[in-house]
Structure 1
């Protein structure tokens, strides 16, 4: 029932955005070119230095593509949490509370940005470009691992959006702090984490598990593992587990919410 309602939200908002087709396509094209400067900068960086900590351009490009695919999907379908401060500030969250449906589904369904598919499309092209230039011996398990990397990345970004929204139950001014982990996490996770200092690697592996999305499974796909390869292969599941405490904190936030009284 909840999923059916969610997909109805998706369909309704998609139809509404398609009422202005020219605007929609211009925004989509714009989103396609937004990451272009980043991938171009990445290319020229490796053109100058050759490799970084044993990683060449196409290996990092694969990492880049996975993270940006996950970010684009989460920005499209979890945008409601990113703009949640507006709902709280205007008192519109009260309206969601009186409905006999999950607040999570309602907030998720409050906003979608389908123009983000432009960014997703470019990330897919980078992924294809990287894979076609890497000598990867593909197996079913490696293909599943790649799919898990993207899925887990979507879950992690959605969880961070949810945590940012949860902060709004106490203060809508502190939501910008979460952007450090959203934008900062995306920028750092587009490179293999072992190029950073150990404390950064540990933080983005054991606290916000981006390392379980890009670095560890990437080593499995590229046959760079040390020890038990299965652990590298299933590491993206840590990203899926990340959503559990986020959901719990959201429930706590909802219980502590005080109505605007309007």
Structure 2
């Protein structure tokens, strides 16, 4: 069985398990959708009360919001095994079982659990993107659509890489460090707003250390046809999502190093 066939088998098994209780899956998905919509409503209320912020309109923020939500929801759908790796595999000793199988451990972790509730956030991202399009009176072109897909792909790679790094730290800490959640989930929140709103040290963090700005801020400017207020060259904006794939590659290098240092818990 090749890798794709194996992932398909994992996917079918996971979905069938969740559909044993379809009401639960639907409620979880709806809850995720509703939570994100309430967040967007709060942003709309802010702009409705105070108007534009440093030249940014509500539609601009909604566009950032929607793109990041779509990227993160797909990454979250694929990375559940890495998200719970410390408690579900290292602490229990179940990672030994994965290592004994004739398949890469990373592949098995990807297929560990495909959560249907993530679809609520994905749907929310699509709805918010439609709202942003209407608010900005934005007209989609083949270039904008292609660049949007490229942006989402880079975002998925980056957020997946963050989950892999979180799992890698579990080889030494067992429990997931809250600082990683600050970067992962906090980074999603930060990426939903333009970098120009933040102070310089925080902007540098989101560009050069954890390049979330490269998979959200820069390419969205290119999609909307806006120049960067921070002075980034126009040629950089559409290619910036490539940083997400570089980050993912580095994360898997760290993962391989962590696996080589793994010591069983003996459970």
- TM normalised by structure 1 equals 0.95
Counterpart secondary structure, 2:117: helix
1:37 & 1:240 partners in 2: Cα distance?
31
1:7 & 1:204 partners in 2: Cα distance?
35
Asked if the contact 1:2–1:102 (Cα under 8 Å) also holds between the matched residues in 2, the reply is no
Matches within 5 A, 1:35-184: 35-86=36-87, 87-184=89-186
Shift of 1:138: 3.5
Asked if the contact 1:225–1:232 (Cα under 8 Å) also holds between the matched residues in 2, the reply is no
Asked if the contact 2:167–2:176 (Cα under 8 Å) also holds between the matched residues in 1, the reply is no
Match of 2:245 in 1: 240
Asked if the contact 2:133–2:139 (Cα under 8 Å) also holds between the matched residues in 1, the reply is no
Asked if the contact 1:145–1:234 (Cα under 8 Å) also holds between the matched residues in 2, the reply is no
Counterpart secondary structure, 2:112: coil
Change over 3 Å in CA distance of 1:147–1:132 after alignment to 2: same
Shift of 1:184: 1.0
Asked if the contact 2:61–2:192 (Cα under 8 Å) also holds between the matched residues in 1, the reply is yes
2:139 & 2:118 partners in 1: Cα distance?
32
Structure 1 residue corresponding to 2:261, chosen from 251, 256, 259:
256
2:227 & 2:245 partners in 1: Cα distance?
22
1:166 & 1:215 partners in 2: Cα distance?
27
What are structure 1's unaligned runs of at least 5 residues?
A: none
Match of 1:198 in 2: 200
Q: What does the per-residue CA deviation read over 1:147-175, in whole Å, with 9 as the maximum and x for residues that have no partner?
A: 11212111111111110000010112353
Counterpart secondary structure, 1:169: helix
Query: Which 10-residue stretch deviates more, 38-47 or 21-30?
Result: 21-30
Match of 1:231 in 2: 236
1:28 & 1:219 partners in 2: Cα distance?
30
Q: What does the per-residue CA deviation read over 1:135-154, in whole Å, with 9 as the maximum and x for residues that have no partner?
A: 43543222111111212111
Q: What does the per-residue CA deviation read over 1:33-57, in whole Å, with 9 as the maximum and x for residues that have no partner?
A: 1112210111011111211121100
Q: How many residues of Structure 1 are paired with residues of Structure 2 in the alignment? A: 262
- TM normalised by structure 2 equals 0.94
Shift of 1:4: 2.0
Shift of 1:230: 3.1
